[in-house]
Amino acid sequence: MLTLTCPIKTPVHRIGAGPKLLGLAVVSVALFQLQSPLLVGAALCATAAVYLAFGWQFARHGAALLRPLWLFLVILALWHLWTGDIAAGAVLAGKMLIAVALANLVTMTTQLAEMIAVVERTTAPLARFGLSPRALAVAIALVIRFTPVLMDKAALLGQAWRARSQHRVNWRIILPLGLMALDDADHVAEAIRARGGL
């Protein structure tokens, strides 16, 4: 399955996942304090400059990840045009764009394996409370493996539907899909136990 890590290598890829996450947390909290439109504008330009510094392709990847925000920008624009407080709206929109863009930057420049390693390190102390790190690792691996498997099964159910019916596939395939997930879960549990268990 595809991850959101960007294939275009940047110097940020070489920084460890832990420092990047800490840095993101600090910068996000600092960003929350900004109130002046000028400072937010400068921060927005700086963020865009960071993306562009890694090349046009990388910046396009980043812009694509921001696309789902357009609806909220429209809502903000309409709201603040109506109330007339345009500066406040620009500050809110700018802060939202910067926060999401910086968080995406961490996601785009960190391999999934590095992220999982951070989760394993940080959850290790929870072993005392009964959360086995191995169980967590197995669960993560199972979701990554079975999401495409269930997608394929949903596609097969859809094909079978279209072979029998003129109507469009609708929610009725969710019940058999749920049954397949339950069956797969039983098989996986048996297979794990057969291999010595968790």
Contacting positions for other proteins (CB under 8 A): 1-5, 24, 28, 65-66, 68-69, 72, 75-76, 79, 88, 92, 96, 99-104, 106-108, 110, 112, 115-116, 119, 135, 138-140, 142-144, 146-147, 149-151, 154-155, 158, 168-171, 173-175, 177-179, 181-182, 184-186, 188-190, 192-193, 197-198
Residue of 61, 48, 76, 79 whose CA lies nearest to 3: 61
Residue 4, token pair as written in the block: 């959101």
Contacts of 162 by beta carbon, 8 Å cutoff, 6+ apart:
169
Cβ atoms within 10 Å of 109's Cβ, excluding its own: 22
> In whole angstroms, what is the distance from residue 9 CA to residue 40 CA?
28
Nearer to other proteins, 57 or 159 (CB): 159
Other CB atoms within a 10 A radius of the CB of residue 80 amount to: 18
- Backbone φ, ψ for residue 36 (5° rounding): -80, 135
At its nearest, how many Å lie between other proteins and the CB of residue 12?
A: 14
Nearer to other proteins, 52 or 183 (CB): 183
In angstroms, give the least distance from the CB of 124 to other proteins. 16
Residue 45 C-beta: closest distance to other proteins, Å:
18
CB of 47 to other proteins, least distance (A): 12
Cβ neighbors of 114 (< 8 A, separation 6 or more) are 16, 17
For residues 45 and 155, which CB has a smaller minimum distance to other proteins in the complex? 155
Residue 69's contacts (CB-CB under 8 Å, 6 or more residues apart) are 96, 97, 100
Residues 116, 110: contact at Cβ < 8 Å? no
Q: 8 or 173: whose CB is closer to other proteins?
A: 173
Q: In the complex, what is the shortest distance from the CB of residue 88 to other proteins, in angstroms, rounded to a whole number?
A: 7
Q: Closer to other proteins by CB, 9 or 186: give it.
A: 186
The residue (of 1 and 163) whose beta carbon lies closer to other proteins is 1
CB of 185 to other proteins, least distance (A): 4
